[in-house]
Amino acid sequence: MRLTKFTAAFAGLVLAGSLAACGDDSSDSEPEVVTDAEFDSGTTMAKLKEAGSMTVGTKFDQPGFGLLGLEDVPEGFDVEVAKIIAGAMGIAPEDIEWKQASSDIREQVIEDGDVDMVVATYTINEERAERITFAGPYYEAGQQLMVNSDNDSIEGPEDIKDNPDMKVCSVTGSTPSEQIKEYLASDDQLVLFDIYDKCKDALGNGQVDIVTTDNVILLGYVDESDGDFKLVGEQFTEEPYGIGIAKGDVEFCEFINKTLADNEDAYVAAWEATAGEVEGTETPELPEAAPCA
């Protein structure tokens, strides 16, 4: 999804969003918990159903996708997608243990068996797929730039080289932190943290001038900023989000893909109750899943 579409849909969505908020009842979007599902013994689904609980890695600092709430439980679209998958194995939301999976540790927590799956704005790419298996994609984002609202020098990534004193912030282990390098005057321009929240704070207090990551993550920060931040330029990469699971668990991957395809209404409701409330976003259609490997 491109930001141009977000922007075009913006006026209508503000109205739709405020109407939806009036009748908002989060219990409406609680996913179905299937109690009579049957799975072949030995599969991950059978094991998790038998355990009655699972562990999910997600983000804790990204409004709209995964943000730790007041009850110390994360909220957002990724969280709701995980609940749909868990529910199809008979696991209720309260039986999910949430672990913070910052960008740099996602493959590792899957490989170490610390989590059963990662749903965390996680771009599918070949390098990562050497270590883990991806289900999905379940959403298509794209990299963009966020600056302070009074910054008129940066209108897109091509302007970064002309402003070599400006600092660009992103997160270690993320695809945007690599993809931005070709647009920098030198590597000294890049500031890396472990989570995006720290980039957002650094932009707010003037330690950096630009934050770069996926458009939907940045839109969450813009929405929260009360007019202090803005997005500039178009998206300049494609970031298909996948669900990370143990390498080679094709049965679990196919189960996840089928579960999402069978629950498109829940998928749309999940979006509308979370990221869809952020100004400038547009309800996605579930993309066609890639073959599991």
By CB under 6 A, is residue 81 in contact with ligand GLU?
A: no
By CB under 6 A, is residue 176 in contact with ligand GLU?
A: yes
Among 44, 58, 121, 133, binds ligand GLU (CB under 6 A): 121
In the complex, minimum distance from the CB of residue 270 to ligand GLU, in angstroms, rounded to a whole number? 18
In the complex, minimum distance from the CB of residue 14 to ligand GLU, in angstroms, rounded to a whole number? 26
In the complex, minimum distance from the CB of residue 77 to ligand GLU, in angstroms, rounded to a whole number? 13
Among 44, 103, 151, 189, binds ligand GLU (CB under 6 A): 103
Q: What are phi and psi of 210, to 5 degrees?
A: -140, 140
Among 239, 249, 272, 277, binds ligand GLU (CB under 6 A): 239
Among 44, 58, 133, 174, binds ligand GLU (CB under 6 A): 174
In the complex, minimum distance from the CB of residue 103 to ligand GLU, in angstroms, rounded to a whole number? 4
- Residue 245 CA to residue 48 CA, distance in Å, equals 13
Q: Among 4, 11, 106, 60, which residue's Cα sits nearest to residue 220?
A: 60
Inter-helix orientation angle 196-204/215-224, to 10°: 50
Residue 199 has a CB neighbour count (10 Å cut-off) of 27
In the complex, minimum distance from the CB of residue 38 to ligand GLU, in angstroms, rounded to a whole number? 34
Q: In what order do the strands lie in the sheet with 74-75?
A: 61-62, 66-68, 74-75
- Residue 198 CA to residue 151 CA, distance in Å, equals 20
By CB under 6 A, is residue 171 in contact with ligand GLU?
A: yes
- Size of residue set near ligand GLU by CB under 6 A: 12
In the complex, minimum distance from the CB of residue 148 to ligand GLU, in angstroms, rounded to a whole number? 21
**Which of 48, 118 has the CB closer to ligand GLU?**
118
Q: Which residues pair with 139 in a beta bridge?
A: 241
- Residue 194 CA to residue 105 CA, distance in Å, equals 10
Q: Are 31 and 82 in contact (CB under 8 A)?
A: no
**Which of 87, 244 has the CB closer to ligand GLU?**
244
Interaction pattern, residues 266-285, with ligand GLU; x per rule: CB under 6 A: --------------------
With DSSP H G I counted as helix, E B as strand and the rest as coil, what are the percentages for the chain, rounded to 5?
40, 20, 40
Residue with tokens 């330690």: 207
By CB under 6 A, is residue 235 in contact with ligand GLU?
A: no
Amino acid identity of 8?
Answer: A
By CB under 6 A, is residue 252 in contact with ligand GLU?
A: no
Stretch that binds ligand GLU, among 119-127, 198-206, 258-266, 276-284 (CB under 6 A): 119-127
- Residue 249 CA to residue 55 CA, distance in Å, equals 16
**Which of 91, 199 has the CB closer to ligand GLU?**
199
Q: What are phi and psi of 166, to 5 degrees?
A: -80, 145
- Residue 66 CA to residue 278 CA, distance in Å, equals 13
Binding site for ligand GLU (CB under 6 A): 103, 120-123, 171, 174-176, 213-214, 239
